[in-house]
Structure 1
């Protein structure tokens, strides 16, 4: 460390504020890991002899199964869109992203209604071929393979987006060199293109696998025992919060191991392109039957991941909307809206303060603690919720003891029994989403603008509020929108921490589907999906912007 860092004013309000904010956001996850020092021998003996092996095996199969499927689907779609020109390509490049708007637990409910014994598909088969129960085999959608397929259908855009960018940014000179050396197109694909895109593809797969580890709604509805369902059972069934926290710590360890493996897979990879503007590979124009097959290939994931589920939800909603559109539904809509809005404003405000604090104090300690807290997106919502519930419950007990001793008054569950707990967990979980957008916007503002503003007597907060925020308005609005939609779709954390008699659209859809009232669950599910389309449109607009460092051959 350089000498100037030793003389840094560690009591600087920005440093103290950032350190305190980061500690509060990280406290739930820290507490989850601290719980391992409080052994729960009897509970763990019971788990070990009964379900622990199922939790581990099923979670690993689920995550790696999703990883393989999203790599195949996302890479193939990215290659088709990035390297081929065909009729309908412009429309398909944003349609492919639509499954991102569909939460996995909603698509699980939809396909259960479609493919179950009493669903339209099996009913049609029995009526058409005069079959009876037991006369035919039909795969069970409510199974581990079914959960892998459901999650893959909505998570492949992670790989698609990163792989498409990687394919598009590869310079044309690579293909020209391969042709001059007599390398066939297929060998060029496997020996040059895919190795260059491998870091992006693996990063997309790692993100999808982390989402698979964190999923609760799909696996719970399908009856698949994973860590997330085990955490809920241990907490609510066995009534042991410490053991649930220890299971959460084990789940988080798997996620951390996944991040380490992803890093190790690319740490020795060093690919560099020339600094000057590079010509991109021109897209190959397809004709004849090739156009149909590429279109068909691109439409299949969109159809099964978005169009078919939405059509089924619309069909169900058309039969029940007259009963569902009542005061209860509008209350659910309002609860979901203002909760997501408060969480988005809180997360983006913290991201602004943390990002600007890093800009004002570019020292390693601040960079490190903000970077660690930004990893919250990799931690499952269930884990953060368990840590928050334990820590805030302890805080409430101490506060009530204090007020009863001093004022003979019980203030109740101010922290753990209110929306404060949810806002804390949402801010910790989705801070990284906001930070990415804010850091990107702030990096475009030249540091000399800060110097000029300070020379005119403006204080740091004034500079941030009056200069930086207006200049990066697009980044701030994008961050607000992305966090808003993520909070709206979040299920496990909301299930654990919601106050009594407080429901959201996600919780209501989950409860109705769990009661096998799939038709009644359609309207709240459609409301979530409709709002979820907004960030998809935003992502499409951002991906359509040409790269400032490259140009396209026409």
Structure 2
């Protein structure tokens, strides 16, 4: 076994180690509290999680498929804008949209206050909208943020479809809706399943929105069991139940990908958008406007207003500047680690293609499917053991006490970020390497380059744009990550995400608006990367 295979196995082991650790911690038992968890915590958590995932799944599929079809197959005012604007809710993390709407829809918040003023009602008791702190509110808000996970792949499938089957269906007497249901929708089912699975994994990873809105999901139960009850084995057992749900979602997504096939033969006529007029055009504009307005424009406008008011009244707190530096520093360190590890594991799979290196590459990509809360519980015993060994060695050889070095320095947090987002790095670099002909590798080796030299002089220059894009997305995801940061951060350490979480938990929303706005601004960057995928321009029908 060569050094490339060993490197790939070591990197895969770093990702797999927290899962093994999680199982070992769960096997320890929960010191008599498991009975309480089984009677009082798990039934509610499982029920709420099942209801939440079902509701979010239906909502993201409905919004994602409808909007993808409208911008792909129809021509109406503003379609070119909606093609990329429908991606904007991706810039708003789930906990921020919950934070924003809790204040916007508060009984004495701007929406209900304005509505009562219009209706001439003085007291908040005389007119109150349904409470957003509910299961329905949580489903609505998560659906408004996560539907782009369905919109993006489904729209790509619609753009790849030929217009000939739809034209044939219309010739046979099928109307536009019937043609869509009978022809276009079945071809898009794998993409719908894959996108919905990704959205549900993100919903599983959520902790802030669910807790703010009073929904006791498995993720919230893991956090409260660990932090509030100091029961790590019990939290690990709940986390294993979460992991089982995630594995099922991944299986659905992989099955959908295996079934996704496209065959193009002969002359292929592209799908020509049908021009909509009158009420049909107005309906299409409304269907695309509502998700963008509620999922991005409303919360973003609120954050801009609140942040401006806060800056005008009290300026920018030095504490917030420090938290922004913490966010950038740790996200930057994790991004550097991810890029190095991703280059190593993809390089091993490219330079030494075998079942071993291919399997190691797949295992290294599993972290993204593991919720941050689950990953944090698995990492904690690993870094605690490492801290004990480091402390013992320092005491033996130097007579010095170093304390909890990995936990105290934030190395555990960087480990969690790297393990969770390594899949983004490997996926981006693999996509950049895919078009590179193996003949270039052979030519480099013929000219005397070693395997490392081929990677350095051939692969890295060609894949530099892909590496840069992947690194940028990793940085942004690290900056937005909340669950792992909450659980593994050093004492008295705050990032923008944890600052916002703390202020929202205390109900002091106005103090968190600036932090939330910075996070949303950071989140817009990947949307600008995805915007060029809008597709080619086509003639309007």
* TM-score bracket relative to the smaller structure: over 0.9
Hey, what's the Cα distance between the residues in 2 that align with 1:21 and 1:182?
57
Hey, what's the Cα distance between the residues in 2 that align with 1:538 and 1:378?
22
Corresponding residue of 2:246: 255
Corresponding residue of 1:54: 44
- Shift, 1:383, TM fit: 0.7
Q: CA RMSD in A?
A: 2.0
Count of aligned residue pairs for this structure pair:
539
1:79 aligns with 2:69: yes
Hey, what's the Cα distance between the residues in 2 that align with 1:410 and 1:263?
48
Q: Is the 8 A contact 1:102 1:529 kept in 2?
A: yes
TM-score (norm 1): 0.93
Corresponding residue of 2:29: 39
1:288 aligns with 2:278: yes
Runs of 4+ in 1 over 6 A off after TM superposition: 551-554
Corresponding residue of 1:223: 214
Corresponding residue of 1:242: 233
TM-score (norm 2): 0.95
1:190 aligns with 2:181: yes
Shift of the 182–130 alpha-carbon distance from structure 1 to 2, 3 Å rule, reads closer
Shift of the 496–276 alpha-carbon distance from structure 1 to 2, 3 Å rule, reads farther
Match of 1:42, SS state, is coil
Q: Deviations over 1:468-523 (max 9, x none)?
A: 11112221111011111111110010111111222111111111111111111110
Q: Deviations over 1:421-473 (max 9, x none)?
A: 11111111111111111101101111111111122222222222222111122
- Shift, 1:349, TM fit: 1.8
Hey, what's the Cα distance between the residues in 1 that align with 2:425 and 2:260?
29
Hey, what's the Cα distance between the residues in 2 that align with 1:462 and 1:362?
17
Shift of the 288–183 alpha-carbon distance from structure 1 to 2, 3 Å rule, reads closer
Hey, what's the Cα distance between the residues in 2 that align with 1:351 and 1:272?
30
Hey, what's the Cα distance between the residues in 1 that align with 2:415 and 2:539?
45
- Shift, 1:207, TM fit: 0.6
1:160 aligns with 2:137: no
Corresponding residue of 1:5: none
- Shift, 1:37, TM fit: 2.4
Query: More deviation in 286-295 or 103-112?
Result: 286-295
Corresponding residue of 1:499: 490
Hey, what's the Cα distance between the residues in 2 that align with 1:282 and 1:288?
19
Q: Is the 8 A contact 1:281 1:553 kept in 2?
A: no
Match of 1:417, SS state, is helix
Shift of the 397–451 alpha-carbon distance from structure 1 to 2, 3 Å rule, reads same
Q: Is the 8 A contact 1:485 1:531 kept in 2?
A: yes
Match of 2:269, SS state, is strand
Hey, what's the Cα distance between the residues in 2 that align with 1:113 and 1:553?
43
Hey, what's the Cα distance between the residues in 2 that align with 1:163 and 1:526?
30
Query: More deviation in 517-526 or 455-464?
Result: 455-464
Q: Deviations over 1:107-165 (max 9, x none)?
A: 11111101111212222344433253543452110111111111111100011001111
Shift of the 399–276 alpha-carbon distance from structure 1 to 2, 3 Å rule, reads farther
> Which consecutive unaligned segments of at least 5 residues does structure 1 have?
1-9
1:169 aligns with 2:167: no
Q: Is the 8 A contact 1:280 1:552 kept in 2?
A: no
- Shift, 1:387, TM fit: 0.9
Q: Deviations over 1:404-424 (max 9, x none)?
A: 345432222122222211111
- Shift, 1:553, TM fit: 8.6
> Which consecutive unaligned segments of at least 5 residues does structure 2 have?
none
Match of 2:32, SS state, is helix
1:132 aligns with 2:136: no
